[in-house]
Amino acid sequence: MKAYLSDRAGGPEVLRISECGRPVPASDEVLVRVAAVGVNRVDAMQRAGGYAPPPGASLILGVECAGEIAALGTDVEGFSVGDRVIALVAAGAYAEYVAVHHRHLVHTPAEWSDEKAAAVIETFCTANESLFQLGRLKRGERALIHAAGSAVGTAAVQMAVLRGAQVVGTAGSAAKIAAARALGAREVINYKTTDFADVVLDLWPEGVDVIEDFIGPGYFARHLRIARWLGRITMVGLLTEGAATAETAPILYKRLSINGFTLRPQSTDEKAAIVARFRDDWLPELVAGKVKPVIHAVLPFAEAVEAHRILEANANFGKVVLRL
């Protein structure tokens, strides 16, 4: 089969299609014939040498895809050959075939294209776990969502608004700000020209309940400043480097909770529970059109280099998808 291996670090130009062996599914896995692949920042990080796949995982890039079941392991229940499915994988999605644990699959809604299906599971699972499971966001609370134009950010804004939260986002261009507001955000701040913390405290002097943090060390001190009593900060990215310098007393006297989340290294059982929560809580909302995957572009599989360039230039609003 054809696949994109991540066997040498570098810029997008190091991506190349290689011939490699087709995976053989284990007894609890299915073999998926891939039709479309969701492109994620973790893919670019791995390609650049900054995020190794979990031990024992494939060197083929990609953590989510949509396609059709081509073969079943002996212990698989609930799926049949020919079923259209959405798959969450630790690695291996940038390929014509990928082996997936059957508990990490959901059936693709009949009316969906494979391209739409490929833009959903990693994004909405991450947003659900970080905002609602760890962040415990509730109706009427206030949320700050950074990177509101990213794939996870666009999902998180919609999900928080649907659940009755008041949302402020950050983005880096007028176009992204307008588009994020259209998703329901009360305010979207240009982080390049304005101190988001000052704007948040002007809106809400008591601060915010939940912060969705893709940024890391560079924003940590300001997050402690704007988090309100019993506030929750969920760190889901590290777009800034180095160590954070901050006065930590607010963690104590405001009784703050700070959590970290990344989807890829979760155990098989943990990932199955995450997928089950997505299937039960958010797939019905997606099917009903109450929230939607925002797709920036669908590119041919041969154009993975361009997909990574778009991501690394922060030129996307929403997800980039590769079509096989």
Same structural domain, 136 and 48 = no
Residue 223 has pLDDT above 90, yes or no: yes
What is the rounded distance in angstroms from the CA atom of residue 153 to the CA atom of residue 231? 19
Tell me, what's the pLDDT at 50?
A: 84
Tell me, what's the pLDDT at 104?
A: 98
With H, G, I as helix, E, B as strand and everything else as coil, classify residue 12: helix
Pairing of strands 64-72, 84-88: antiparallel
Residue 239 has pLDDT above 80, yes or no: no
- Phi/psi at 53 (5° precision): -65, 160
Same structural domain, 256 and 136 = yes
Nearest to 158 by CA among 170, 145, 173, 176: 145
The predicted model gives 218-236 an average pLDDT of 95
Tell me, what's the pLDDT at 190?
A: 97
Contact 41, 3 (CB under 8 A): no
The predicted model gives 224-228 an average pLDDT of 97
Q: Among 210, 229, 260, give the residue marking a domain's end.
A: 260
Tell me, what's the pLDDT at 216?
A: 81
Tell me, what's the pLDDT at 300?
A: 98
Residue 164 has pLDDT above 80, yes or no: yes
Q: What's the mean pLDDT when you consider all of the chain?
A: 95
Q: Among 234, 260, 286, give the residue marking a domain's end.
A: 260
pLDDT digits over 268-301, tens only? Answer: 999 999 999 999 999 999 999 999 999 999 999 9
What is the rounded distance in angstroms from the CA atom of residue 250 to the CA atom of residue 225? 7
Same structural domain, 138 and 250 = yes
What is the rounded distance in angstroms from the CA atom of residue 293 to the CA atom of residue 286? 8
Cβ neighbors of 297 (< 8 A, separation 6 or more) are 307, 310, 316, 320, 321
Tell me, what's the pLDDT at 139?
A: 98
Contact 165, 139 (CB under 8 A): yes
| pLDDT-above-90 percentage for the chain | 89
Same structural domain, 98 and 182 = no
- Sign of the CA dihedral 301, 303, 307, 312? positive
For residue 300, give the H/E element and its range.
Answer: strand 295-300
pLDDT class of 55 with cuts at 50, 70, 90: confident
Same structural domain, 78 and 103 = yes
Same structural domain, 256 and 278 = no
pLDDT class of 245 with cuts at 50, 70, 90: confident
Residue 7 has pLDDT above 90, yes or no: no
Same structural domain, 8 and 86 = yes
With H, G, I as helix, E, B as strand and everything else as coil, classify residue 32: strand
Same structural domain, 103 and 143 = no
- Partners of 167 in beta bridges: 143
Contact 263, 271 (CB under 8 A): yes
What is the rounded distance in angstroms from the CA atom of residue 70 to the CA atom of residue 281? 28
Residue 219 has pLDDT above 80, yes or no: yes
Same structural domain, 135 and 176 = yes
Number of domain units in the chain: 2
Same structural domain, 255 and 137 = yes
Same structural domain, 204 and 220 = yes
The predicted model gives 186-204 an average pLDDT of 96
Tell me, what's the pLDDT at 8?
A: 86
Q: Among 260, 281, 307, give the residue marking a domain's end.
A: 260
Tell me, what's the pLDDT at 43?
A: 95
pLDDT digits over 88-131, tens only? Answer: 999 999 999 999 999 999 999 999 999 999 999 999 999 999 99
Contact 291, 8 (CB under 8 A): no
AA letter at 300: P
CATH number at residue 177: 3.90.180.10
Structure tokens belonging to residue 307: 């997909």
What is the rounded distance in angstroms from the CA atom of residue 292 to the CA atom of residue 155? 7
The domain in which residue 198 lies consists of: 126-260
Tell me, what's the pLDDT at 243?
A: 77
Residue count (the chain): 324
Residue 16 has pLDDT above 80, yes or no: yes
AA letter at 313: A
Tell me, what's the pLDDT at 272?
A: 98
Same structural domain, 176 and 158 = yes
